[in-house]
Structure 1
Amino acid sequence: MSTRRNNRLSSREIDIAIEPLEFNTLSFDAACKLFLGGAERRELR
């Protein structure tokens, strides 16, 4: 006999699900500088 899954969320799980997401965004130039800096450190350039 298989056990049915409980689909109820705890109050903590609900809090996590409704928290707004925060994104750290970079400009294209800043992203390129980070990418190229990493490539240079790894001697890929």
Structure 2
Amino acid sequence: MAALVEQTLLRFDGSRYRLLAWCVMPNHVHVLIDPLIRLSRIVQS
């Protein structure tokens, strides 16, 4: 499951946001991004 989350985060790196750091935990994820579009659109997608 962690690999799937990582692949999904990397998929939009550079198009919707710049992925600065991430940490996939057993039951949640921490993500630090520099958004390139509105944050509400990123969260919604």
Under a length normalisation based on structure 2, what TM-score does the superposition of the two structures give? Answer: 0.28
Name the larger-Rg structure. Answer: 1
> Bigger relative contact order, structure 1 or 2, given CA contacts below 8 A and separation 6+?
2
Under a length normalisation based on structure 1, what TM-score does the superposition of the two structures give? Answer: 0.28
| Larger strand proportion of the pair | 2
| Larger helix proportion of the pair | 1
